[in-house]
Copies of this chain bind each other. A is one copy, B any other.
């Protein structure tokens, strides 16, 4: 775990903090598709992402989903931060998008370190900033763009996160994450294919040029 830490956080945290993380953190590996947090859960530890990716989803009362953003290497979950400090329940659902490695830090350390380490404070503030920015982008998408543009953004985003131009998703799965219907997704994907921008297969989509 120490090597993981040094590889990913050595420029961010001072050595003493890396040591402490190594002492109290626990390594956790999750498989693609595995659920990390459910809406309403109490959060007891904070994740640092070593590798992989996690998708963060919002859900309304009817069970309709919406993808908010992805967490990647070096990220942490801003929602968790606030939940830990405020002792409130999770507002979001977190699911592993890829096989993912995390270091879990007990929440008690949170407050201790914010007083003790400047680098930790900066990291936490930086995380908040990134998450707020991503939320703004999500708002831009749903408020200012039509579904065809949102779909393109979604595919581009997915390609970037998975680092793979072959996207292994069904139309239904995409529809859930964009909060629309399968028929709409199929329709728009077909249009993109006819423009030569993607190729459609069963259970997967090949991105040609978006």
Contact = CB atoms under 8 A, between A and B. Distances in A.
Contacts of A140: 58, 60
Please tell me how many copies of the chain the complex holds.
2
Interface in A78-128: 78-79, 81-82, 85-86, 88, 91-92, 114-115, 118, 121-122, 125-126, 128
A4 B161 CA distance: 48
| Interface SS majority for chain A | helix
A117 to B, nearest CB: 10
A208 interface: no
Contact of A91 (B118, B125, B133): B133
Given A118-B115, A121-B114, A144-B64, A58 B132 contact: no
A21 interface: no
Nearest to A125: B85
Given A82-B128, A92-B136, 8 more contacts: A60-B144, A66-B143, A78-B132, A82-B125, A115-B115, A135-B139, A139-B142, A143-B179
